[in-house]
């Protein structure tokens, strides 16, 4: 029976991922890593290219090429800091694109959850929080796990389960 549950979770995870990525990348007209980079930059402006790449799962050279593409489309820009340090930040067009991507990403998620009644949604929220805390134990990086999250939505009146798992791991 647990094999079936694991299989169902795998199929649902992939289907939801496909819906979210299609919505975000289609809205932003960027790659999956580009979408993640824009969303990360909206919450953590002025990141260096290497750190931005780490948060979206790219090598430094791949991150530099991705930033080149975002800069060419006017969504992000490099800013030279002290010495050789270069930071990346969103342009106003990039900020607009992030808002559009988060709205687009939310639509299929709301559609999927619409089959649940209010009690089921509350139960599912608790279960997902528990699963995310466990996933943090495996992945160990909240920035990577939440790279396509609408962070304001997750922390408005609640505690992010991934952020809490990270704080708990740091306190241990």
Strand partners, 76: 90
Q: How many structural domains does the chain have? A: 1
Question: Residue 86 is part of a domain; what is its CATH number?
Answer: 1.10.10.10
Closest CA to 66 of 28, 23, 100: 28
pLDDT in tens, 128-164: 999 999 999 999 999 999 999 998 888 888 899 999 9
Cα 34 from chain centroid (whole Å): 11
pLDDT at 86: 85
Do residues 15 and 50 touch, judged by C-beta distance below 8 A?
Answer: no
pLDDT in tens, 13-62: 999 999 999 999 999 999 999 999 999 999 998 899 999 999 999 999 99
Give me the domain span that covers residue 13.
2-171
pTM of the model: 0.89
């Amino acid at each position: 029976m647990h094999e079936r549950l694991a299989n169902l979770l795998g199929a649902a995870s992939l289907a939801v991922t496909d819906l979210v990525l299609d919505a975000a990348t289609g809205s932003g007209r960027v790659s999956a890593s580009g979408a993640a980079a824009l969303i990360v930059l909206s919450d953590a402006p002025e990141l260096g290219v290497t750190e931005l790449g780490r948060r979206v799962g790219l090598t430094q050279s791949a991150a530099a090429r991705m930033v080149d593409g975002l800069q060419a489309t006017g969504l992000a820009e490099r800013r030279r800091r002290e010495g050789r340090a270069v930071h990346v930040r969103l342009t106003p067009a990039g900020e607009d694109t992030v808002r559009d991507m988060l709205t687009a990403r939310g639509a299929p998620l709301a559609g999927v959850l619409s089959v649940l009644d209010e009690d089921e949604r509350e139960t599912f929220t608790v279960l997902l929080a528990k699963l995310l805390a466990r996933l943090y134990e495996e992945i160990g990086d909240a920035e990577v796990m939440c790279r396509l999250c609408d962070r304001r939505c997750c922390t408005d009146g609640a505690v992010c389960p991934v952020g809490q798992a990270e704080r708990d791991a740091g306190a241990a």
